[in-house]
Amino acid sequence: MRAVHAVSSNVCWIAGTGGNVYKTLDAGKSWTTVKVPEGDSLDFRDIHAFDKQTAVAMSAGEAEKGKAKIYRTENGGQTWTLVYQTTQTGAFLDGIDFWDKNKGICLGDPVDGKLFVLTTEDGGKSWTELPAESRPTALPGEACFAASGTSILATGKGNAFIGTGGSKKARVFRSEDYGKSWKVSETPMNAGPTSGIFGLRFTSSKNGIAVGGDYKRTTDSTINVLTTADGGESWKLESMTKPTGLKECVAIYHKANATWNGDTQIRADNYALVATGPSGSSYSVDKGKTWSPLGTEPFHAVSFAGNIGYAVGGKGLIGKIDKISTKGKRKRLKFVD
């Protein structure tokens, strides 16, 4: 499983291979199967839920083989509607995200040298392909990683970010108009056919973080954290996570009563960053400058609703972060499997 979205402390949706989708309504004590009936051959790499009834699930895979599809449910997963599919050669969907209950975006690997971008204005009921002339131009070999659904990020009032790899440079594309137009910045993150940026997150309109690594060398001891202080225009290598190695997703753990609406910065002492990957999970309480081990479970993705989070991994692994304890100035997060 690589897709997870925590709607609230009690409600979370997850999805994975074989068309499998699950949800909990009781804070992870029990999980209900709400599988897409015709999805046995599909690999859901991202899911976005609005509440306990409504969710959008995205399948990754080769479009020409019928794998690039998006489904939507409005009755808690009892039935699913196919709302988008393409058979264009080269199309491969990587992730989806939403700014609100209406406007959303979907990212795919390049087609004819341009990143594949879809947008919706009706909560995912219908999707429109961005015209080719407006799509971001990719470098030879450049693509996005569908490892956790977080190589695409929709945040604030129309801001969107895309992290890439696969080529000689890892880059971040950014949009300020709901994905209609794009600018791009090079980053110093190591990049290659199997390496680059995997996950993005912003803690304010200007301050952001990106994590990555190499999915063929998942325990490499290399700097794998980037930060920006100017809204994504420039990025610097910041630190190395502990455990070391590939991190596919980075999310924000909010302490109780801490909120952020996409424009106002969270107080530094009110949140922690949590990064997950095959070699284990890490957390940072100083904006990504330093990291401490959180666990060695091989989680691919994590999602938080305030101070409650859920993480997913291979072989049906599900984790829950539901506790933070403070001892002096040191903070610890605890996984509850």
- Per-residue pLDDT of 115-130, as tens digits, reads 999 999 999 999 999 9
Q: Is 275 exposed, middle or buried (0-12, 13-18, 19+ CB in 10 A)?
A: buried
Q: Residue 149 is which amino acid?
A: G
Q: Is the pLDDT of residue 261 over 90?
A: no
CB atoms within 10 A of CB 231: 17
Distance CA 141, CA 155 (A): 27
- Give ∠ CA 23-24-26 in degrees, rounded to 5: 170
Share of the chain above pLDDT 90, in %: 86
What's the pLDDT at 262? 43
Average of pLDDT values for 5-20? 96
Q: Give CA separation, 280 vs 8, 187, 245, 302, 335, in Å.
A: 24, 24, 8, 12, 11
Query: SS3 for 132?
Result: helix
What's the pLDDT at 321? 86
What's the pLDDT at 328? 40
Average of pLDDT values for 275-301? 93
pLDDT confidence of 2, banded at 50, 70, 90?
Answer: very high
What's the pLDDT at 332? 52
- Which residues make Cβ contacts (< 8 Å) with residue 169, sequence separation at least 6? 139, 142, 186, 187, 191
What's the pLDDT at 334? 56
Q: What is the pLDDT of residues 24-78, one digit of tens each?
A: 999 999 999 999 998 999 999 999 999 999 999 999 999 999 999 999 999 999 9
Distance CA 7, CA 109 (A): 27
In the structure encoding, which two tokens stand for residue 168, read together? Answer: 């000689």
- Which residues make Cβ contacts (< 8 Å) with residue 327, sequence separation at least 6? none
For the entire predicted model, the pTM comes to 0.92
pLDDT confidence of 200, banded at 50, 70, 90?
Answer: very high
Query: How many residues would you count in the chain?
Result: 337
Task: For the chain, list the domains and their CATH numbers.
Answer: 87-336 (2.120.10.10)
What's the pLDDT at 260? 44
What's the pLDDT at 245? 96
To the nearest whole number, what is the mean pLDDT of the chain? 91
pLDDT confidence of 225, banded at 50, 70, 90?
Answer: very high
Average of pLDDT values for 286-311? 93
Distance CA 325, CA 268 (A): 17
Q: What is the pLDDT of residues 15-24, one digit of tens each?
A: 999 999 999 9
Distance CA 12, CA 131 (A): 34
Average of pLDDT values for 84-104? 96
In 3D, which of 133, 142, 75 has the Cα closest to residue 108? 142
Please list the residues that pair with 324 across neighbouring strands.
Answer: 333
